[in-house]
Amino acid sequence: MDGKNSAIRAAAACLRYAHFTQKAAAEHVTGIKYFESSDCLILDRLTLRNLEVVQSRSETGKQTLFDVIDETVTGMGGRLLRSWLVRPSLKRSEIETRLAAVEELLAPILRDKVRFLMKQVADLERLVGRLNLGNANARDLLALASTLAQTPELNASISDARSLLIQVLSENIFELPEIRELIASAITGEPPLNITDGGTIRAGFNAELDDLRLLSTDAKKLIAEFEEQEKQRTGIGNLKIRFNNVFGYFIEVSKANAARVPDDYHRRQTLTNAERFTTPQLKDWEAKVLGAESTILELEVELFQQIRAKVKEETCKLQTTARALATLDALAALAETASRRNYVRPVLHDGDEIEIKNGRHPVVEAFLRDSFIPNDLYLNNSTDRLLVVTGANMGGKSTVLRQAALIQILAQVGSFVPATSARLPVVDRIWTRVGASDDLASGRSTFMVEMTETAAILRNATPRSLILLDEIGRGTSTFDGLSIAWAVAEYLHNSPEHAAKTIFATHYHELTELAENLPGAKNYQMAATERDGDVVFLHKLQKGTATKSYGIAVARLAGLPASVLDRANNVLAKLEKYELAVFSDERSTNGLKAAAARGQIAQVSLFAVHNESAVEELRNVDLDRLSAEESKEILANLKRKII
């Protein structure tokens, strides 16, 4: 921790806060660990959100990668698995040992046995915390003993494991038979929630406590016999001996029988319908009973604290056992997921190639009603460094981008992946620039947020990174956005320090020309076709470039009015008529001048297209049949239409 002063101060502040709020020493916190960025795959807040790793943007809030793979059966296993997802490993040896353990746990008999036993395991991590904070009650100790009771069978079930990680876990699952025996012999089977309620310590555990209980029981028996004796002596059949915290034990007689009360009865209280009395003999017995009960409670509390202190002495072994059980639960959960969802073990290598066959988006596949259409993907740091993906809206571009990242994350967690095969490197960071959002409180527009996120990627990406860009430049004018997208793509391809494997999804079809100029750029498209005037999304990634985005077709699916769609088609046709591939002469310094010299129009104004409707109306006017008044009216209408 040398040189990590800020981290040390932050940890110290957290511990001080815990001490202050819990009024305890938190002795189970025996050390702090600094997470080095070089130890894990970095997923920043935006990437976690964009990829929906642990937090969903859906209304249900339950459609995340964590929800899909979380088959853990204990709270501590679930927390560990979540931490793995947030900080995937960069150590190939660590990843490989997890993968080997998951592969071994794919055996149904072993996996089912482990998961069955783990279902009987309580949250040992939190129990140890409560134990050291002095908050553990008798039920917590029983839960701890019940957990330890599963350890012999768990160790027996994994004793013949071949994978190194499971062997290590077996060595770190302590059975602690003396603690199990202590709790079993000391705590009753169904103790009260609060120790002060009594009845927590089992009979036979402490001789002094047993004697006091016998005395208390005998005194109560004598009081019951005294009640029957007084009924006979006084002839009052409804005479009762009762108890409350104010008056202790007393004799209660109804008003109707008050005249029959003996002279040796001393009145204690008068009620509306009854009188309460006591006698010297009842006072003696009361002193014995109450004294014994008070002593019993004090002794039970003292004995329980001694038991809790004895268990607390094993904190270190209990924490080690808790970590081992959590790890075993997480690995078994990954094996269960792989078995249920037909995932395969990825092959990790020291190169730079990402090669995925029939990859699937784990979250979309899990919640999709129809069958998922898989896709292949290939990237490297040389010939296939920059993939420009074009295609229809709703065609699946974003799905392909995200599934590549999620498969990489799963692999570096140590999980099997949704594909028929996957060869993957170990990447140091995954960057995403996906979706539109603003930060109005800080005065940042949607486009400013987009550019800020893009700048962070361009400045910090490395050749070992994986970058996913979705629609860069869409928050500004068409040609500004296109220019920025073009320059960003070139930079990520050419920069010696920041040239990373990049998937660039875009509707700027002009960017497909990059593949002609950059040796590491390749064009891909999400296939779509038209049938009877309707677009059919094939959701298949293919080499080549898309010719359309089918935005109007998607607008039709969304329910835009027919008149709006017709007008949009009309405007689109006119825009396409004057479309100019500005970058076709990119290699010429006078490209735009050359285009102008050929009579091509560099940019068509939407206003000019709008005005053309007025021109069309003017062309269709039959001048020979118009009166002067009709001519004036038509001219006035046309004047109003012109922008």
Give 431-457 as a DSSP string.
Answer: EEE-S---BGGGTB-HHHHHHHHHHHH
In a domain, 506, yes or no: yes
Least confident window among 297-301, 401-405, 574-578: 574-578
CATH number of the structural domain spanning residue 521: 3.40.50.300
Least confident window among 13-27, 73-87, 345-359, 432-446: 432-446
Read off the tokens for 628.
Answer: 């002067």
- Give dist(CA 501, CA 468) in Å, integer: 9
DSSP state letter for 585: G
Query: What pLDDT does residue 580 have?
Result: 41
Q: 327 and 268: one domain?
A: no
- Give dist(CA 493, CA 520) in Å, integer: 7
CATH number of the structural domain spanning residue 270: 1.10.1420.10
pLDDT at residue 628 is higher than 70: yes
Q: 303 and 398: one domain?
A: no
pLDDT at residue 337 is higher than 50: yes
Task: Identify which has the larger pLDDT, 192 or 580.
Answer: 192
Q: 488 and 359: one domain?
A: yes
Averaged pLDDT of the chain = 86
State pLDDT tens for residues 477-515: 778 888 999 999 999 999 989 889 999 999 888 899 999
In a domain, 249, yes or no: yes
| Residue 618 domain boundaries | 605-641
In a domain, 590, yes or no: no
Q: In this structure, are residues 92 and 347 in contact, taking their beta carbons and an 8 Å threshold?
A: no
Output the pTM of the full model.
0.79
Q: 30 and 102: one domain?
A: yes
- What phi and psi values does residue 560 have, to the nearest 5 degrees? -60, 145
Q: 231 and 358: one domain?
A: no
Q: 105 and 227: one domain?
A: no
Q: Would you call 315 exposed, middle or buried from its count of C-beta atoms within 10 A (0-12, 13-18, 19+)?
A: middle
pLDDT average, residue stretch 554-561: 84
Q: Write the CB contacts of 534 (distance below 8 Å, at least 6 apart in sequence).
A: 553
Task: Identify which has the larger pLDDT, 18 or 341.
Answer: 341
DSSP state letter for 202: P
State pLDDT tens for residues 379-429: 999 999 999 999 887 888 999 999 999 999 999 999 999 999 999 999 999
Task: Identify which has the larger pLDDT, 45 or 440.
Answer: 45
pLDDT bucket at 60, cuts 50 / 70 / 90 = low
Report helix angle 164-171 to 92-105, nearest 10.
80
- Domains contained in the chain, number: 4
Least confident window among 89-103, 313-327, 577-591: 577-591
Please say whether the dihedral angle defined by the alpha carbons of residues 205, 206, 211 and 216, taken in this order, is positive or negative: negative
In a domain, 230, yes or no: yes
pLDDT bucket at 625, cuts 50 / 70 / 90 = confident
Residue at a domain's end among 307, 331, 363: 307
Query: What pLDDT does residue 382 have?
Result: 93
- Give dist(CA 316, CA 493) in Å, integer: 51
In a domain, 564, yes or no: no
Least confident window among 146-160, 348-362, 541-555: 541-555
In the β-sheet with 421-424, what is the strand arrangement from edge to edge?
Answer: 347-348, 421-424, 354-359, 375-379
pLDDT bucket at 13, cuts 50 / 70 / 90 = confident
In a domain, 591, yes or no: no
- Give dist(CA 389, CA 409) in Å, integer: 22
Please state whether beta strands 386-391 and 521-531 pair in parallel, antiparallel, or not at all (unpaired): parallel
Least confident window among 152-166, 236-250, 483-497, 576-590: 576-590
State pLDDT tens for residues 595-615: 444 444 444 444 454 566 666
Least confident window among 1-5, 163-167, 428-432: 1-5
Q: Write the CB contacts of 442 (distance below 8 Å, at least 6 apart in sequence).
A: none
Task: Identify which has the larger pLDDT, 451 or 22.
Answer: 451
State pLDDT tens for residues 518-531: 999 999 999 888 77
Query: What pLDDT does residue 511 have?
Result: 92
Least confident window among 56-60, 245-249, 457-461, 465-469: 56-60
